[in-house]
Amino acid sequence: MVRDGDVAVIRIDEPPVNAATDAVCAGLAAALDAFEADAASRAAVILCGGKGFIAGADIKAMDAVPDAPPLPDLIDRIEALDKPILAAIHGPALGGGLELALACHGRIAGADARFGLPEVKLGLIPGAGGTQRLPRLAGIGITIDLAVDGREIDAATALSVGLIDAIAEGPLREAAIAHARTLAGQPPRRTRELPMPADGHALVEAAAPKVAKKARGRRAPLLALDAIRFGLDHPFDEALANEKAVAIAALRSEESRALRHLFLAERRVRRDAADAPTRTIATVGVVGLGTMGRGIVQALAAAGVETIAVARGDASLARAQAAVEKAWAKPGNTRAAALVRWSSDLAALADADLVIESIGEAMVDKTALFAALGGIAKPGAILASNTSYLDIDALAAASGRAADVAGLHFFNPAQVMRLVEVVAGAATAPDVVATLMGFARRIGKIAILSGVCDGFVVNRLLAKRSREAYFLLEEGASPYAVDRVIAGFGFPMGPFALGDLAGIDVQRAARIARADRLSPRERRADFVDQLFAAGRLGRRAGKGWYAYGEDGRPAPDPEIESLVSAHGARHGVARRAIGEDEIRDRLILAMVNEGAKLIDEGIVAGPDAIDIALVHGIGFPAHLGGPMWWADRQGLTGVATTVTRFAAEQGDEYWQPAAGLLDRAATNRTFY
């Protein structure tokens, strides 16, 4: 603490994010002691060094948090001070940092400030007054947005709802000291003394069904809403005690442990190839402007990357350019549009530092293109394929410059989906891998590193789930029962609803491309071919596995039940009743077992990449931590026993237990 005239300035500087560690709390408590004892200090300012305000708790240390952590009591002490104290906020003020600011007697922010209560994303709720002070200052609606939905707001929004008193004009420190002087000598404005909003009950009850639907098995959003509701009906101190108790219980929950695991796993996978040098990527070329290629162009330009978009043929180019410009027209994204150069000439890619191939999944076409790109691209340029399953090593060989070639697999829609698989071939240079991992982060993606195999991580595991879904139909399950079980598990939708969304024609094309790799049983389970022949092409055609009404809502279709029954009769398959437990286990454990094989084969460095890939690639429920984390929680002995039983029932060809799974189960070890 230092004094500027009659204003004490308390500065917190705890790199990298000013986490509210025990040391920070102790230091702040000592500074408050000094402020209270200093008669010449009539007001105080709390500000932070670095890139932002206090960021809340240290996530890596949360398992060791005691039942009575120091921050809530410290925040209560700030609010109870007899001399006014002002929060001066720059950058992010998140979690406990925002809760501390809410307890101050005034708040001023820089224009770059952001405000949020992201605890819900980690299976938590605010535990230091966030659900009680925020509605008193800014209203129930903003509190639901931040504490229940985990959103953030900027400084302008915070000012408009009363969360802050002012946005600083000029340097924040000087503006904060001047503002603090206006508070000096006045009774502190304690947030706890403000009333709850009169419309609180109506807004909470209106939000409740939406929150429950969106939660899909997560408890934290419901707990946060309940804490807000409790505060509407109870005195502040009771509501604060309730919030603290619920927050500690949430911290100890499996949901929070799983979500914190994913948070830290994302940071661990960043370290894959992090030690290698990188190449400079200023300009990126995209060749192949179908749906995926157009999405990649949008993602690149939106991230501020100069992009060369190449289609093979003027007509294809015109269609792609029109589609992208239409997508950008509504938000008025002129900055992104200005970054894209359009061409139908491969030679335009000669200036690119990275070329991303995104043509159709035909190996003969891709190898021809990579042979051409090998001669066109400048020395040192990286050639990356967006293939979802083809052999990167074969493409690398075709290019004549294998060290420069890797996979860079985006997920559809590429401008929305955050996951990218970076695929290192046998000859891929380490600096190419490191460059692509870093570049993915630069454009706002989460990158995981995979070796070369059929389908890499996501599609290899998804193929096993899809295979089991079709086999379950043959054996007696309804597609609607399968989807209900998977949606009940926490996925956004089941495999058959997902198939309708992707398009039956798209799935059939992929099946044809992989025909030489299908087993006899997989060829027999030709449901996609049957739907295609019947003109049931999915949601956009109005019928696929489901029938879609004028409102677009899916409904079970008796024709599908007849088709599935006829298939069994035609192939002499005796159908049986299949329970929900078997449906769940066969679909989920198929992915767990295959994930263990990825680890055994060295395709991934460890289970982190699999969990991140499945959560962000196909919507594996985040609150369960990913398939490998989930399997650990179920107990690998039981998992291995079930997989071994399925191997006996279904045949080793489909259910050969992974050696690593069996070994971990036998030696009482886990994936984590």
Residues known to be catalytic: 57, 96, 99, 119
CA distance 239 to 624: 29
CA distance 240 to 216: 27
* Bridge pairing between strands 405-410 and 382-385: parallel
How many CA atoms, within 13 angstroms, populate the side-chain half-sphere of residue 468?
31
Alpha helix (H) ranges present in 273-362? Answer: 291-302, 314-329, 334-338
CA distance 182 to 45: 12
Residue 456 and residue 423 in contact, taking contact as beta carbons nearer than 8 Å: yes
CA distance 220 to 466: 31
241-to-201, 218, 252, 412, 632 alpha-carbon distances in Å: 20, 23, 17, 45, 34
Q: Dihedral angle at the C-alpha atoms of 490, 491, 492, 495, nearest 10 degrees?
A: -140
How many CA atoms, within 13 angstroms, populate the side-chain half-sphere of residue 316?
16
Instruction: Report the candidate in 170, 149, 167, 168 with the shortest Cα–Cα distance to residue 158.
Output: 167
Beta bridge partners of 357: 287, 385
The three-class DSSP label of residue 193 is helix
| E strands present in 491-629 | 546-548, 554-556
CA distance 408 to 397: 17
Instruction: Report the candidate in 232, 155, 161, 162 with the shortest Cα–Cα distance to residue 199.
Output: 232
- Phi, psi dihedrals of residue 494, rounded to the nearest 5°: -80, 175
How many CA atoms, within 13 angstroms, populate the side-chain half-sphere of residue 166?
15
User: Which DSSP helix (H) or strand (E) runs through 421?
Assistant: strand 419-424
CB atoms within 10 A of CB 392: 27
CA-based R_g, the chain, Å: 28
**Inter-axis angle of helices 504-513 and 495-502, nearest 10:** 90
Q: What are 250's two structure tokens?
A: 């949430």
553-to-498, 500, 546 alpha-carbon distances in Å: 14, 12, 9
